[in-house]
């Protein structure tokens, strides 16, 4: 309960979002990582006669730096514990805006028997931490969730220090995306509306997987979807995270508030955009931004290509006969995290699965693009969205281990010469 309360108060998560995060997802990571770790041990190499082959998993030589974000307490716990599970020593640097919940997670680990010095909780200035670890000859890997810019700077710093590091550090990064709902005219529009409201505005859009773009056919937009979405958005209540009537609360800090409100101001002053709903921002007491829906004429404009990480949904109504061209727009994105196709036409779904095969690490059919569950939808994306190592999946732990193959020979070699040489 303390962990859930800290997540609500410190990170402005509503009771539902905090419960999903701390009581469900964190527990799932711990349970399934242990299960996957045990399954790894079941592999036994083939042993021919007079030989015994074995395979064991070793820790990496050096330390792992776990750099966690503010938006999910569970991610912080997973970045640190999954690497420690494979025998590694971990330096855990939490987000400046999630220190309390992450510290409580660390305390729970210790209370459960984690030995001192295995996971080391180190709140620190981000650039200082990155500068120190990327120059250390003992760096064995980095487990990171955060912004594209930060991960790129870390990767660049490591590359510049490789000679002094002396090994090849393992780099795992999950960096967000520009996620979309692609709607075909055959879709159930009420389902699209409800799914989009949740995907775009839960936790104020501060999820790596949050829906940022809605591609919608014009034939459905003006006559049906637009008024329904407007009504739903206007019904959203925002306020104190501890009030059960609130759908979401404040964004995380002033930096985020200024960035998100800046996009709204940009749209307000541009002829390419129309603010359809919301748009008000208030930082007089907390950092509150209304759920905002913006319609655009330009599918390649600023709000359609840049990650915002806030409660802004940009809508591009397309001509119904231009549906196929939307696939190409999506394929051109620098991001590759999540996306959804909504359609009741099976051929359209098959086309989406084929044409968008290389785009998203997590793809959804007739479902919102958020809400992945450990061991149900292992999570991660490629391109600028990260290394796609799939947290919550069976192969994630392999990144944090250095396997060793062992051969025991029971036959005596009686001659160094090959048989054909003796003939």
Question: Quick check: is 174 catalytic?
Answer: yes
Measure CA 359 to chain center: 15
Helix axis angle, 73-85 to 26-40, nearest 10°? 20
What is residue 415's DSSP assignment? -
Strand-strand pairing, 292-296 and 273-277: antiparallel
What is residue 271's DSSP assignment? T
- The candidate with the shortest Cα–Cα distance to 32, out of 397, 374, 362, 380, is 374
291-302 burial string, b = 16+ CB within 10 Å, else e?
A: bbbbbbeebebb
- The radius of gyration computed from the CA coordinates of the chain, to the nearest angstrom, equals 25
| β-bridge mates for residue 180, sequence order | 213, 339
Residue 181 and residue 423: Cα distance in Å, rounded? 72
Residue 6 and residue 13: Cα distance in Å, rounded? 9
Spot the catalytic one: 174, 290, 295, 307: 174
Measure CA 219 to chain center: 34
Q: How many CB atoms lie within 10 A of CB 384?
A: 20
Question: Quick check: is 50 catalytic?
Answer: no
Spot the catalytic one: 25, 202, 208, 307: 208
On the 0-12 / 13-18 / 19+ scale of CB atoms within 10 A, 402 is middle
Residue 235 and residue 204: Cα distance in Å, rounded? 15
Residues acting as catalytic residues: 174, 208
């Amino acid at each position: 309960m303390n962990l859930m309360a800290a997540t609500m108060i410190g990170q402005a998560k509503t009771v539902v979002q905090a419960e999903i995060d701390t009581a469900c997802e964190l527990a799932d990571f711990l349970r399934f990582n242990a299960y996957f770790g045990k399954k790894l041990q079941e592999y036994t190499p083939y042993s021919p006669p007079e030989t015994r082959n074995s395979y064991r998993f070793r820790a990496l030589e050096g330390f792992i730096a776990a750099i966690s974000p503010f938006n999910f307490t569970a991610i912080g716990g997973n970045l640190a514990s999954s690497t420690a599970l494979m025998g590694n020593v971990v330096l855990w640097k939490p987000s400046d805006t999630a220190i309390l919940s992450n510290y409580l997670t660390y305390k729970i680990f210790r209370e459960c028997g984690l030995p001192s010095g295995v996971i080391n909780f180190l709140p620190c200035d981000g650039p200082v931490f990155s500068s120190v670890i990327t120059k250390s000859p003992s760096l064995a890997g980095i487990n990171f969730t955060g912004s594209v810019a930060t991960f790129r700077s870390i990767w660049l710093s490591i590359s510049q220090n490789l000679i002094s590091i002396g090994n090849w550090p393992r780099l795992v990064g999950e960096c967000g995306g520009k996620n979309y709902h692609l709607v075909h005219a055959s879709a159930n529009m009420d389902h699209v509306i409800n799914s989009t409201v949740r995907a775009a505005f839960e936790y104020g859009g501060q999820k790596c997987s949050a829906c940022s773009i809605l591609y919608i056919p014009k034939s459905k937009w003006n006559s049906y979807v637009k008024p329904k979405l407007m009504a739903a958005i206007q019904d959203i209540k925002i306020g104190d995270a501890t009030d059960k009537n609130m759908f979401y609360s404040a964004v995380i800090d002033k930096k985020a508030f200024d960035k998100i409100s800046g996009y709204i101001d940009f749209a307000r002053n541009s002829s390419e955009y129309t603010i359809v709903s919301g748009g008000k921002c208030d930082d007089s007491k907390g950092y509150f931004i209304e759920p905002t829906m913006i319609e655009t004429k330009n599918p390649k404009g600023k709000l359609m290509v840049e990650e915002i990480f806030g409660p802004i949904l940009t809508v591009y109504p397309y001509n119904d006969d231009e549906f196929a061209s939307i696939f190409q727009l999506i394929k051109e994105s620098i991001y590759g995290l999540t996306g959804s196709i909504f359609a009741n036409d099976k051929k359209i779904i098959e086309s989406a699965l084929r044409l968008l095969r290389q785009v998203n690490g997590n793809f959804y059919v007739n479902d919102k693009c958020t809400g992945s569950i450990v061991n149900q939808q292992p999570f991660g994306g490629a391109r600028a969205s990260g290394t796609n190592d799939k947290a919550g999946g069976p192969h994630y732990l392999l990144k944090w281990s250095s396997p060793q193959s062992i051969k025991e020979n029971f036959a005596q070699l009686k001659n160094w010469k090959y048989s054909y040489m003796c003939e």
